[in-house]
Chains A and B, each alone.
Chain A
Amino acid sequence: MTGITPLSPTAHRDLRYNRHAAGAARRFARLGLSEIAVAAADMPLCLVKDGQTGRFDLVALMSLVEPANLFVVGGGFQATYVPRAVLLGGFRLDPTGAAGLAIDPADPSLGGVGEPLFDEHRPTALSGDIAPALERLVADVAAAQEMADSWARHRLIRPLPLSLSKADGGRHDLAGLYTIDEAAVQALPDAELIALHRADRLAPAAVLTASLAQVERLRQLHNARFVPAITDYSLD
């Protein structure tokens, strides 16, 4: 992160963007509100706290104990959906940079392979599309955070203790994850329930809960590439 630098037509003239390499080292990605349904088709979705504010962020898990993204295999992202924060992970909004961008040169999506960011000294159409995409993503993530705030206000969030059993007899507990407290949803007074439904806060909550079944997919992906195998897990 310390290497973030404004995009420059001189310094980065030959830089290219490879969407297939994006997110190789990312273990989770923040999600926007509009991504919930599509991301849940591949990944478990849960909530984590922002380290600066303590507010809940919506994230898609892409690994369990591995220092790698389990979906990035064989040079590509092997899932039906790639979170936009993964695709755009190499870029930041920066009005002082070319095309209104800054870049993280260490991001695997940026290098000598892929689509060019500049045509000679002019930003390509791809570069021109990235800043608006980032702006949409920021707004979408903020909308997801507002929804999580709403769940928190209604006390619908509970810790998600995810415990993994490994073939070598070891155990690994993942702390700091949160999910929807279904019992609390069930116990909501009718008026609050209807208000949350009208505000479209309940359907996404149900998707989040259902997405936890994808932990099994992560377990399978882990066992295909890493040892010791994960033999079991619990989500209490």
Chain B
Amino acid sequence: MSDKYKGGQILLCAGTFGIEGGKRAGEDQVVETGVADTEVKRVVVVGGGSAGWIAACRLAAQVRRTGAGVGVTLIESRNVPTVGVGEGTWPTMRNTLAKIGIAETDFIRSCDAAFKQGARFVGWTDGTPQDGYYHPLNPPAGATEIDLAPHWLHRGEGDAAFADWVDYQAMLCDAGLGPKTIVMPEYAGHANYAYHLDAGKFATMLRDHGVGTLGIEHVLGDVLRPRMTDHGDIVHLELADGRNVAGDLFVDCTGFAARLIGGIYDVPFRRCGDVLFADRAIALQVPYDDEDAPITCHTVSTAQGSGWIWDIGLWSRRGVGHVYSSAHISDDAAEAELRRHVGTAAQGLSARRISIEAGHRTRFWQNNCVAVGLSAGFLEPLEASALMLIEASMDAIADRLPRNRAAMDVMARQFNATFTHHWMRIIEFLKLHYVLTKRTDTDFWRDNVAASSIPDGLVERLAMWRHHSPGPQDFDHAREVFSWPSYQYILHGMGFDSRQPRIDPSAPEAGLAQRFVTRMQRAKDELRTRAPRHRDLLRAIREHGLQRV
């Protein structure tokens, strides 16, 4: 420890690295007067993975747009590898990229990206060969005007599955068709869409754009310790090479290490392993058989005996991984299961093992530090919420960047309340995928339906949804991360036992429902012939580019 940190010796934290603070003597003493009026002039982002670069780019782009006069610095360690998973996004990524000022064409070319139109869950309901359903990204037809679910529930025998009856996107996925055409502008499509991407390439692209275009100050170095005010704010971070990086707001994007929110502030971590059992992942990067192989346009999540396997298609490879509960299967058996699932293509490929501690911080914003990304928490990647939470966090921070230190406390309270709610609801939504199962073939599935593992809020809502389909009134917040269409797709996809009353076929609403279904069917028929093959679309974009208008 350097001399200038000697002094009070008050340990502010316990965690991955110790920070000393308290009163300091002489010229190093921090002047505390007027702290509340201190303007936010520099934001320091710590961490150079996807979270760090999304955070820094969102902030820098917003500052540029508004002329707010705030500098953005990102500290990246050469010695800390990024986790490098998190290869699925939500449609929100389109807005994020547009706000950052990245052309969709550049993104697709740089990040090996492909389009994602939802997820198909295979084997989750009863494990039979025909067991599968879609959670598409499109809402059901007419979602702002009518709830089609009760009409579907009382449809004629032999009619389509819910996702196929209320929307056309399942057809696009089944047929391997893209969500847009080459003549559509950037970030627009005939269907809602997100992306599958290479997380490492994504961080590199953001770094190049952030430093080259947005003027982010990029500091390479290892954070050693912070210097704190008496109020517990971070004044600057001392790097291993002796440099100090000062800031007014610090964004902790240090991943699982959580070096600021955990290491400095020791904000408790709320585990949820009693609800979501998965605590391990094994990932493989699987090459395509040939360069013209179809690219699946959705995430395929296939249930296993003690977890599930993701399969996502990028331009040049697939990302395949097994998420499982180590209490129910050994690592080696899980890897063997994954390799069996992939088949001969897995031969010779090295697998990467990742530990997951499911849960989140009890607070995300403490003093002048806010945790974003894995430092805030992590859940199994069942609905790809990791990158979305980073985006949502940065929307909240960048769009309402506090002007001074006093405003930061109000922001922190709001942010903590909002994101505590979001985490709780995401946990419930992920659990929903498990509690509706009829599988009893392994302990994993039997344990998942144990009443003690199901959050009270979910139990309450499931009871309510026996009598009506999920709707916007069923939730506390106007902006839920998973809104009612998502709940409908899972509930009805898994054959939830709903006892909703039959709607009279002669009632006006039945006619309205039929009109929406007919209109959707016309769109489906047209897209079946007009939409391009997914790989062809990506090839055209990589070769010719998309226009901005």
B540 within 8 A of A: yes
Is A159 touching B545 in the complex (CB atoms < 8 A)?
A: no
Complex CA distance for A55 and B184, rounded to whole angstroms:
11
Task: Count A/B pairs, Cβ under 8 Å.
Answer: 34
B183 within 8 A of A: yes
B284 within 8 A of A: no
Residue of B nearest to A153 (CB): B548
Minimum distance in angstroms from B547 CB to a CB of chain A: 6
Is B540 touching A152 in the complex (CB atoms < 8 A)?
A: no
Q: Top 7 A-B pairs ranked by shortest CB distance?
A: A54-B182, A49-B183, A53-B544, A54-B183, A54-B544, A157-B549, A159-B549
Residues from 533 to 549 in B contacting A, C-beta threshold 8 Å: 540-541, 543-549
Is B547 touching A52 in the complex (CB atoms < 8 A)?
A: no
B181, B183, B543 interface centre (most CB from chain A within 10 Å): B183
Task: Provide a sorted-by-A list of 7 A–B residue pairs whose CB atoms are within 8 angstroms.
Answer: A49-B183, A51-B183, A52-B540, A53-B544, A54-B183, A54-B546, A178-B549
Contacts of B181 in A (CB 8 A): 54
Q: Using known A-B contacts A49-B183, A176-B183, determine if residue A55 contacts B544 with beta carbons closer than 8 Å.
A: yes
Complex CA distance for A53 and B545, rounded to whole angstroms:
8
Contacts of A54 in B (CB 8 A): 181-184, 540-541, 544-547
Minimum distance in angstroms from A217 CB to a CB of chain B: 26
Is A53 touching B549 in the complex (CB atoms < 8 A)?
A: no
Residue of B nearest to A55 (CB): B544
Contacts of A152 in B (CB 8 A): 547-548
Is B182 touching A158 in the complex (CB atoms < 8 A)?
A: no
Instruction: Out of B182, B545, B546, B549, name the residue touching A52 (CB < 8 Å).
Output: B182
Is B182 touching A157 in the complex (CB atoms < 8 A)?
A: no
Contact flags A171-196 to B (C-beta < 8 A → 1, else 0): 00000101000000000000000000
Is A53 touching B182 in the complex (CB atoms < 8 A)?
A: yes
Contact flags B165-199 to A (C-beta < 8 A → 1, else 0): 00000000000000001111000000000000000
Residues from 69 to 100 in A contacting B, C-beta threshold 8 Å: none
Contact flags A31-63 to B (C-beta < 8 A → 1, else 0): 000000000000000000111111110000000
Residue of B nearest to A156 (CB): B549
Is A56 touching B182 in the complex (CB atoms < 8 A)?
A: no
Minimum distance in angstroms from A235 CB to a CB of chain B: 16
Minimum distance in angstroms from A134 CB to a CB of chain B: 24
Contacts of B546 in A (CB 8 A): 54
Contacts of B541 in A (CB 8 A): 54
A155 within 8 A of B: yes
Minimum distance in angstroms from A156 CB to a CB of chain B: 10
Q: Using known A-B contacts A51-B183, A54-B182, A54-B183, determine if residue A157 contacts B540 with beta carbons closer than 8 Å.
A: no
